[in-house]
Amino acid sequence: MREVRLRFAPSPTGYLHIGGLRTALYNYLFAKHNNGKFILRIEDTDRTRYVEGAIENLIESLQWAGIEYDEGVFLEDGKLVQRGEYGPYIQSERLEIYRKYVDELIEKGYAYYCFCSKERLDKVREEQKIKGLIPKYDGLCRSLSLEEAKEKIANGEEYVVRLKLPPNTDIKFDDLVRGTITINTNDIDDQVLLKSDGYPTYHMAVVVDDHLMGITHIVRGEEWLSSTPKHVYLYEVFGWEKPVYVHLPTVLNKDRKKLSKRHGDVAVEDFRDKGYLPEGLINYLALVGWSPEDNEELLTMEELIEKFSFERVSKTGGIFDKDKLDWVNSHYIKNYDLDKLTDLAIPYLKEANLIDDKFAEERYDWLKVLVETVREGLSNLSEIVDKVGIFFDNEIKPENDEALSMLKMDHIPTLLSAFREELEAIDEVDEEFAKTIMKKIQKATGIKGKNLFMPVRIALTGNIHGPELTSIIYLLGKQNILNRIEYVEKQYL
């Protein structure tokens, strides 16, 4: 039995799209579920769209997401290295390999040289559109003999190599998500296999690479569905064993349109920058178009590997619902290791100029309490800046008329005076003081219940609701609380 081998083969044309990450994830989950291998290959034969640094970005995004591959292109000490016995894993380094197989197709009559100019091709397609036909190559150069073609090449004429499809032939293949698919060659173009710059097209390179690298399952987006018959035909004429095909439904937004930059975040790094945890994003993304048999929604990577199968992948586009992502991610934030979560939160506090490096180092334990106090209300870590503002600003602004009216109640001066008295009797606020201070004030003033706790919270934060009062008192400390009591007395009493 063949070893299960899958690959993720992105083009380095920019950032890793959230849909691309899902494709990588499904490849990874299936490979690991079947004790197989997962490979990262870089498909960079379209040199016009190549973006410097894109390969590094792809690798970093996969590493951040916890998607580990066994072979391919790796980033080590800032340099790209390749590991595995089927390399090179970067297509631009495999040009001689493709040329050999293109020549084989030409010699056997399954491909031909084409010398048509771009202007002629554009004109042909325009005329076909006007007539209501499928725009495709009209086959002008199919009738050229090999001798005639080689003579033109010797004369310096520019050419491409095209696949010679048989007329009116049904090409069938099975898809694990969509079942059996049949497409007639009359509806398919004679695809370019080798471009005039000597680089293969995707269609040629992907078949050669997948065969030579022993890929058993090809998992990719449904946009490649119409190209698959050409690939299947190439496998047939080469006499190679065909892989199993899986075409995934597109990731859609709430309006059921394809996710695009125009409608908000679509790059993996966008979600990373906003403070989504990799565990949260991966868990949610797995559910965009797939569900386990038990319909469980909160799943670790290990549980996803155990439960994943393509039989549970939907045929229709998966809706990327940011509200649902926030819900899943908030679960992970609530249960994350506190030290790790604090380390992840610190950069957001620094960027907002709430703390600096010295503060982060000297008051790390205080920051841990801060993060622990507000984590319940976070759906991503960038939100922490708004949640912790109450601990950094001594100007108390009642959040609404109800809060303001509560600050003006008759017993508030007595309450604040008692609070001040307790504070002035200690050197600093510790956990014990924070836990017992409200009982002491209640005993000293006779004020209790809502009339005790709510006005104190408003005096300290401006808000009627919020984190535990014990945590607020501990985090603010003696001097900040005294400053706020004084501010409230001057401004509102």
What does the alpha-carbon distance between residue 218 and residue 248 come to, in Å, rounded to a whole number? 10
Known catalytic membership, residue 261: yes
Q: What SS3 state is found at 203?
A: helix
DSSP assignment of 84-134, as one string? STT---BGGG-HHHHHHHHHHHHHTTSEEEE---HHHHHHHHHHHHHTTPP
Pairing of strands 37-40, 5-8: parallel
Q: Are 57 and 73 in contact (CB under 8 A)?
A: no
Residue with tokens 């400053």: 483
What does the alpha-carbon distance between residue 161 and residue 341 come to, in Å, rounded to a whole number? 55
Among the listed residues 261, 340, 435, 439, the single catalytic one is 261
Give, in order, the Cα–Cα distances in Å from 312 to each of 13, 30, 33, 463: 31, 12, 14, 47
Q: What SS3 state is found at 347?
A: helix
Q: Are 65 and 281 in contact (CB under 8 A)?
A: yes
Half-sphere exposure of 125 (CA within 13 A, CB side): 11
Q: What SS3 state is found at 136?
A: coil
What does the alpha-carbon distance between residue 189 and residue 199 come to, in Å, rounded to a whole number? 19
For residue 233, with 0-12 CB atoms within 10 Å meaning exposed, 13-18 middle and 19 or more buried, which class applies?
buried
3-state helix, strand, coil split of the chain in percent (to 5) is 55, 15, 35
What does the alpha-carbon distance between residue 363 and residue 365 come to, in Å, rounded to a whole number? 6
Instruction: Please state whether the peptide bond connecting residue 88 to the residue before it is cis, i.e. omega within 30 degrees of 0.
Output: yes
Biggest alpha carbon–alpha carbon distance for the chain: 107
Residues shown for the chain? 493
Q: Which of 288, 214, 216 is nearest to 251 (CA)?
A: 288
Q: What SS3 state is found at 44?
A: coil
Give the neighbor-by-neighbor strand order of the sheet with 111-114.
111-114, 160-163, 192-194
Q: Are 73 and 40 in contact (CB under 8 A)?
A: yes
What does the alpha-carbon distance between residue 135 and residue 122 come to, in Å, rounded to a whole number? 10
Give, in order, the Cα–Cα distances in Å from 297 to each of 136, 307, 324, 342: 45, 12, 10, 26
Task: Specify the amino acid at residue 62.
Answer: L
For residue 316, with 0-12 CB atoms within 10 Å meaning exposed, 13-18 middle and 19 or more buried, which class applies?
exposed
Catalytic residues: 261
